[in-house]
Amino acid sequence: MIQPGKTIGVLGGGQLGRMFAHAAERLGYRVHIYEPMADGPAGEVSAREVNQSYTNVEALTAFVRDCDVVTYEFENIPVEPLWKIENLVPLHPHWSVLETCQNRMREKTWLRKNGFPHVPFAEVEAGDDLAAAIRRVGLPCVVKTADFGYDGKGQIKVSDEASLAKAVAAFARQRCVIEKFIDFKCELSVLVARGSTGEVKVFPVAENIHTRHILDFSIVPARVPDAVRTEAEKLGLAIVEKLNVVGLLAIELFLTDRGEILVNELAPRPHNSGHWSLDACATSQFEQHVRAVCGLPLGDVSILSPSVMVNILGDAWKWQGEELVGDANWAAILAHPRAKLHLYGKKEPRLGRKMGHFTVTAATADAALDLARELKARL
């Protein structure tokens, strides 16, 4: 057990690291951030920030020697430097989990090898005939780069010859995954925490609505039958155990028109679709991540109230074309008694950039969603 008062190192300095630092400090921990770029959201609320490349093994080694445990707040971190530090300090989740989840090809292959339901896919190595592989999978499909994609980046939906040509041009000489396009009723996610003793807790299943490939609304509890929620939770538990995760794992899922649950992607960290837990759960996902990586007993994950989380993008600010001319209408959120505003401290709003989120609570998930849509429109 890494007792409160010790130091937690976090690789990555974005908003997830910021909210993790708030949770850790409430429990009495010091948080040190390692992040290549200065003045990030996490660094300004941490006890110490080191701005060096992830591949600078000397700097990374010096950083972890001042920490009692190390975790990460996003998965786009090269694993080779982590090999050098794994014997210096506990690293949770293990770098092997990160390596599997940060590459779509390895992730899909791992799911297939271990018998977990997944989206049908094909692999294309750099330099292979991408067009021929797309035709083998069939249209419509989605072409994704194998490495380092998120929020719709590094992927193109292919539905005709024009979009096929666009994908071939965009991904020429890159390793890719081609996924069959799935007709789904809804997208779900389940967040599972696992401690070093093997204790596990499953957060309630969230229903997610995306707009332009970016999460727009997360609804909890998901508006699906109890049997679907139970199956999603069991699937999440099985994946966490098989990967031997210590920390958090988010599992993104499709519920198909035929009632199947398919795994889309895995993320070994706190997740955008779990932000509702800050205001509507007995233990937030960030506090739970602290508990898991430090070996503390895991917290209660009971829902306090049905809730909806809404992402706030830079689009919420006032723009004339591409020129920023004013703030968003924050009073619309702050004046409502069942709404909570969370901004990430990013210095520059940009169109499409995640700048914060707000949550609303209500008697039912549908009522919370109605209120969330109303407040978003006013924002």
Q: Is pLDDT above 80 for 240?
A: yes
Residue with tokens 């921990």: 29
β-pair type (69-72, 7-11): parallel
pLDDT of residue 147: 76
pLDDT tens-digit readout, 332-379 = 999 999 999 999 999 999 999 999 999 999 999 999 999 999 999 999
* Residue 150: predicted pLDDT: 61
Contact 135, 143 (CB under 8 A): no
Average pLDDT over residues 193-208: 97
pLDDT above 70 (res 91): yes
* pLDDT value, residue 14: 97
pTM for this prediction? 0.94
Q: What is the pLDDT of residues 139-190, one digit of tens each?
A: 999 998 887 656 556 789 999 999 999 999 988 888 899 998 988 999 999 9
pLDDT digits (tens, 9 = 90+) for 110-145: 999 999 999 889 988 888 889 999 998 999 999 988
- What radius of gyration do the chain's Cα atoms show? 21
User: Would you say residue 258 has pLDDT above 80?
Assistant: yes
Mean pLDDT (the chain, rounded): 95
pLDDT in tens, 277-318: 999 999 999 999 999 999 999 999 999 999 999 999 999 999
Distance CA 164, CA 182 (A): 18
Cα-based distances in Å from 231 to 36, 236, 325, 343, 369:
40, 9, 48, 34, 24
The average pLDDT across 229-237 equals 98
CA–CA dist 243, 293 (Å, integer): 15
Q: Which domains does the chain have, with CATH numbers?
A: 7-91 (3.40.50.20), 120-180 (3.30.1490.20), 184-378 (3.30.470.20)
Confidence of residue 247 (pLDDT cuts 50, 70, 90): very high
Instruction: Examine the pLDDT at 235 and tell me if it is beyond 90.
Output: yes
The answer on pLDDT for 78 being more than 60 is yes
The two tokens of residue 231 are 């199956």
Answer positive or negative: Cα dihedral of 267, 272, 273, 277.
Answer: positive
Q: What whole-number distance in Å separates Cα of residue 164 and Cα of residue 157?
A: 8
Is 90 exceeded by the pLDDT of residue 17? yes
Q: How high is the pLDDT of residue 25?
A: 98
Residues 308-325: tens digit of each pLDDT: 999 999 999 999 988 999
Dist CA 181 CA 175 (whole Å): 19
pLDDT at 163: 92
Tell whether the torsion through CA atoms of 127, 132, 136 and 142 is positive or negative.
positive
Distance CA 123, CA 96 (A): 21
Mean pLDDT (whole number) for 84-111: 94
Q: Does the structure show a pLDDT above 90 at 205?
A: yes
Does a cis peptide bond (omega within 30 degrees of 0) precede residue 140?
yes
